[in-house]
Amino acid sequence: MSDGRKVLVVDDERAIRRFLDLALQAQGYEVILAASADEGLTRLVEIRPDLVILDLGLPDRDGREFIADLRSWSQVPVIVLSVKDREADKITALDAGANDYVTKPFGVGELLARMRALLRQIPPGGEEPHFRVGDLHVDLPRRRVLLAGEELSLTPTEYDILKTLIAYRGKVVTHGQLLQEVWSEAYRNERHLLQVNMSNLRRKIEPDPSRPRYLLTEPGVGYRLRDEE
Amino acid sequence: MAGRGGVTEQEGNRAPRSERFLVCLGPSPFGAGLLKEARDMARVAGAELWAITVDVEGSRLDGLSRAARKTNVRLAERLGVRLFVRSGTDVARTVAAFARRNGVTRIVVGKSLDSPWKTLLRGTLTDRLIRLSGSIDVVALSRREGEAEPSLKGKGKSLGAYGCGAALALAATALGLPFSRVMAPTNVVMVYLAAVLVAAVFLGRGPSVLTAVLGVLAFDVFMVPPYYTLVVADSQYLVTFAGLLGVGFVVSGLASRAGERAQEARRKEEEALALYAFSRDLAAAAGREELLGVVTEHLFRLGWESTLILAGEDLRSQSGRPGHPRDIPAETVEDVLRHGRPRELENGQLCLPLEVQERRVGVLILHGSSGERPEGLRDAFVLQIAQSLERIVLDERARTAELAQAREKIQAALLDSVSHEIRTPLATITGVLSSLRRGDKAVVSDDIARSALIETAWTEAERLGDLVGNLLNMSRLEGGGFQLDRAPCDPSELVAHVLGRMGERLEGWTIETELPQETCLIDVDFPLLSLVLVNLLDNALKYGSVDVPVLIRGWSEGRDFLFSVADGGPGIPESFRERIFEKFFRLPTSAGGTGLGLTICRGIVEAHGGAIAAGPRSEGGTVMTMRLPEVIVP
Query: Using a CB-CB distance cutoff of 8 angstroms, which residues of chain B are in contact with residue A192?
Result: 488, 521, 633
Q: Residue B496 above 50 pLDDT? A: yes
Pick the CATH number of A6-119 from 3.40.50.2300, 3.40.140.10, 3.40.190.10, 3.40.50.150: 3.40.50.2300
Give pairs for B322-328: CB < 8 Å, separation 24+: B322/B77, B322/B78, B322/B80, B326/B365, B326/B367, B328/B365
Q: Residue A61 above 90 pLDDT? A: no
Task: Quote the percentage of chain B above a pLDDT of 70.
Answer: 85
Q: Residue B142 above 50 pLDDT? A: yes
Peptide bond into B425 cis (omega under 30): no
* B515 CB within 8 Å of a chain A CB: yes
Q: Which amino acid is at B570?
A: P
A17-40 pLDDT, tens per residue? Answer: 999 999 999 999 999 999 999 999
Question: Tell me, what's the pLDDT at B153?
Answer: 40
- Distance separating alpha carbons of residues B522 and B628, to the nearest angstrom: 9
Question: Tell me, what's the pLDDT at B170?
Answer: 87
List Cβ neighbours of B88 (8 Å cut-off, separation of 6 or more): B54, B55, B56, B57, B94
- Distance separating alpha carbons of residues A140 and A131, to the nearest angstrom: 8
- Distance separating alpha carbons of residues B26 and B461, to the nearest angstrom: 84
- Distance separating alpha carbons of residues B620 and B570, to the nearest angstrom: 7
Query: Using a CB-CB distance cutoff of 8 angstroms, which residues of chain A are in contact with residue B633?
Result: 192
Contact B499 A196 (CB under 8 A): no
> How high is the mean pLDDT of chain B?
79
| Overall average pLDDT of the B610-630 stretch | 91
Q: Which of B469, B473, B499 sits opposite A211 (nearest CB)?
A: B499
Question: Tell me, what's the pLDDT at B622?
Answer: 92
Give pairs for A94-103: CB < 8 Å, separation 24+: A94/A172, A94/A174, A94/A177, A94/A221, A94/A222, A95/A174, A95/A176, A96/A64, A96/A67, A96/A68, A96/A71, A97/A67, A97/A68, A97/A70, A97/A71, A98/A54, A98/A67, A99/A171, A100/A171, A100/A172, A101/A172, A101/A221
Question: Tell me, what's the pLDDT at B3?
Answer: 38
Question: Tell me, what's the pLDDT at B369?
Answer: 59
Closest by CA to B569, choosing from B540, B610, B600, B598, is: B540
Neighbours of A13 (CB within 10 A): 14
* A192 CB within 8 Å of a chain B CB: yes
Contact B521 A84 (CB under 8 A): no
Nearest-CA residue of chain A relative to B511? A210
B175-219 pLDDT, tens per residue? Answer: 888 887 787 777 888 888 888 888 887 777 788 888 888 888 888
Measure in Å the smallest separation between the Cα of B361 and chain A Cα atoms: 48
Question: Tell me, what's the pLDDT at B514?
Answer: 92
Q: Residue B155 above 50 pLDDT? A: no
Buried b (16+ CB within 10 A) or exposed e, B230-260: eeeeeeebeebbeebbebbbebbeebbeebe
Q: Which of B489, B496, B525 sits opposite A209 (nearest CB)?
A: B496
Q: Between β-strands B48-56 and B315-318, what pairing exists: parallel, antiparallel or unpaired? A: unpaired
| Overall average pLDDT of the A173-192 stretch | 89
Give strand ranges (E) for A6-56: 6-10, 30-34, 51-55
Q: What are phi and psi of B128, to 5 degrees?
A: -70, -35
CA angle B429, B434, B438 (to 5 degrees): 155
- Distance separating alpha carbons of residues A175 and A182, to the nearest angstrom: 11
Count of A-B CB contacts under 8 Å: 66
- Distance separating alpha carbons of residues B258 and B251, to the nearest angstrom: 10
Q: Which of residues 517-536 of B touch A (CB under 8 A)?
A: 519, 521, 525-527, 530
Question: Tell me, what's the pLDDT at B529?
Answer: 93
- Distance separating alpha carbons of residues B353 and B133, to the nearest angstrom: 53
Name the fold adopted by A130-225.
Answer: Arc Repressor Mutant, subunit A (1.10.10)
C-beta separation of A7 from A32 below 8 A: yes
What is chain A's length? 229
Contact A199 B497 (CB under 8 A): no
Q: Residue A11 above 60 pLDDT? A: yes
The more confidently predicted of residues B326 and B573 is: B573
* A84 CB within 8 Å of a chain B CB: yes
- DSSP code at position A217: E
C-beta separation of A191 from A184 below 8 A: no
Contact B493 A211 (CB under 8 A): no
DSSP string, A68-98: HHHHTT----EEEEEETT-HHHHHHHHHHT-
| Overall average pLDDT of the A71-92 stretch | 84
Q: Residue B21 above 80 pLDDT? A: yes
Same fold, A6-119 and A130-225: no
Question: Tell me, what's the pLDDT at B59?
Answer: 64
B350-380 pLDDT, tens per residue? Answer: 888 887 777 777 888 887 655 566 677 778 8
In DSSP terms, which residues pair with B140 in a beta bridge?
B109
Contact A195 B521 (CB under 8 A): yes
What residue ranges do the domains of chain A occupy? 6-119, 130-225
Interface test with B, best of A110, A178, A210 (most B CBs within 10 A): A210
Q: What confidence category does residue B428 fall into, taking pLDDT thresholds of 50, 70 and 90? A: confident
* B565 CB within 8 Å of a chain A CB: no
Interface test with B, best of A84, A192, A225 (most B CBs within 10 A): A192
Contact B521 A192 (CB under 8 A): yes
Assign 3-class secondary structure to B457-483.
HHHHHHHHHHHHHHHHHHHHHHCCCCC
C-beta separation of B44 from B75 below 8 A: no
Closest by CA to B553, choosing from B448, B466, B504, B625, is: B625
User: End-to-end alpha-carbon separation of chain B, Å?
Assistant: 53
Helices B526-543 + B491-502 axis angle, to 10:
50
Query: Using a CB-CB distance cutoff of 8 angstroms, which residues of chain B are in contact with residue A200?
Result: 519
Q: Which amino acid is at B166?
A: A
Peptide bond into B226 cis (omega under 30): yes
Question: Tell me, what's the pLDDT at A105?
Answer: 80
Q: What confidence category does residue A126 fall into, taking pLDDT thresholds of 50, 70 and 90? A: low
| Overall average pLDDT of the B498-519 stretch | 87
Question: Tell me, what's the pLDDT at B13?
Answer: 40
Q: Which of B487, B488, B497 sits opposite A217 (nearest CB)?
A: B497
Question: Tell me, what's the pLDDT at A224?
Answer: 92
> How high is the mean pLDDT of chain A?
87
Question: Tell me, what's the pLDDT at A125?
Answer: 52
C-beta separation of B158 from B212 below 8 A: no
| Overall average pLDDT of the A50-79 stretch | 89
Q: What confidence category does residue B319 fall into, taking pLDDT thresholds of 50, 70 and 90? A: low
Neighbours of B103 (CB within 10 A): 16
Question: Tell me, what's the pLDDT at B326?
Answer: 63
Q: Half-sphere exposure of A20 toward its Cβ, with a 13 Å CA cutoff? A: 30
B28-43 pLDDT, tens per residue? Answer: 666 777 888 888 888 8
Q: What confidence category does residue B405 fall into, taking pLDDT thresholds of 50, 70 and 90? A: confident
Closest by CA to A222, choosing from A177, A184, A186, A192, is: A177
C-beta separation of A162 from A201 below 8 A: yes
| Overall average pLDDT of the B98-120 stretch | 71
Q: Residue B611 above 90 pLDDT? A: yes
List Cβ neighbours of A153 (8 Å cut-off, separation of 6 or more): none
Q: Which of residues 21-80 of A touch B (CB under 8 A)?
A: none
Q: Which of B489, B492, B633 sits opposite A210 (nearest CB)?
A: B492
| Overall average pLDDT of the B457-479 stretch | 83
Question: Tell me, what's the pLDDT at A30?
Answer: 93
| Overall average pLDDT of the B133-162 stretch | 61
Q: Does residue B93 sit in helix, strand or coil?
A: helix
| Overall average pLDDT of the B337-345 stretch | 78
For chain B, domains (ranges, CATH) are 4-141 (3.40.50.620), 159-261 (no CATH), 287-373 (3.30.450.40), 397-479 (1.10.287.130), 487-628 (3.30.565.10)
Contact B493 A88 (CB under 8 A): no
Question: Tell me, what's the pLDDT at B146?
Answer: 41
Q: Which of A191, A198, A203 sits opposite B487 (nearest CB)?
A: A191
DSSP string, B351-375: EEEEEETTEEEEEEEEES--TT--H
B580-610 pLDDT, tens per residue? Answer: 888 777 777 776 667 788 988 998 998 899 9
Query: Using a CB-CB distance cutoff of 8 angstroms, which residues of chain B are in contact with residue A191?
Result: 487-488
Question: Tell me, what's the pLDDT at B556?
Answer: 92
